[in-house]
Chains A and B, each alone.
Chain A
Amino acid sequence: AQKVTQAQTEISVVEKEDVTLDCVYETRDTTYYLFWYKQPPSGELVFLIRRNSFDEQNEISGRYSWNFQKSTSSFNFTITASQVVDSAVYFCALRGGYNTDKLIFGTGTRLQVFP
């Protein structure tokens, strides 16, 4: 069975602080894909990143960075120098390998960034 766990329900930080959102996953597939989505207060779901199971390189995009570690089944998301506009619910998701089209989400982490 596939499962995604986001243990942090809610995080509050002050602007300019760094914050890391944790994601732990479970799967028996050898090929799989991991995603992060952002859901701002307006409600839409915004795709942030996709990683496949064969690529463990960390990725940086501006103030966002992702740390993928297969050894600990984790795909953590760090926001550097957080801003008020980063306030949102962030979802980690897992998609299995071939012939398994289901995208399974964690329960999300609500990030509040205060000025």
Chain B
Amino acid sequence: IAGITQAPTSQILAAGRRMTLRCTQDMRHNAMYWYRQDLGLGLRLIHYSNTAGTTGKGEVPDGYSVSRANTDDFPLTLASAVPSQTSVYFCASSDWTGGGPVFFGQGTRLTVV
């Protein structure tokens, strides 16, 4: 079934550790996104990529980095995790042509202790 796969589903991480959240889509969408969802704040854009080889900063990029080596994969890295990065992280993708809808993965629940 076509869609977006995120891994891991959940993770407890010690503060200061490095962590990469994985995201793969098989819809050949050109645009991909990472959001974090926190209670009362909705979904906030961390980083995005319009196409393979390019990335851009969203609303809350500090402490996160991304890469887009190919169309399908868009990993999100926390170089040195802090407790404020405890959140649910959603990866998403869209076919930008014609302003297509954005589809989301199932989310990764990350707890930094």
Contacts and interface: CB of A to CB of B under 8 A. Distances in A.
Interface residues of B, number: 27
A105 B99 contact: no
B46 to A, nearest CB: 11
A47 B42 contact: no
A106 B104 CA distance: 16
Nearest to B88: A43
A101 B96 contact: yes
B42 to A, nearest CB: 4
A15 B109 CA distance: 32
Interface of A is mostly: strand
Given A44-B107, A45-B90, A103-B33, A95 B45 contact: no
A103 B102 contact: yes
A17 B92 CA distance: 33
A52 interface: yes
Give chain A's interface residue range (CB within 8 Å of chain B): 20 to 34
Given A101-B31, A101-B48, A103-B45, 13 more contacts: A33-B99, A35-B102, A43-B107, A45-B92, A47-B102, A50-B100, A95-B102, A101-B33, A101-B94, A103-B94, A103-B102, A106-B42, A107-B42
Interface of A: 6, 33, 35, 37, 43-45, 47, 50, 52, 91, 93, 95, 99, 101-108
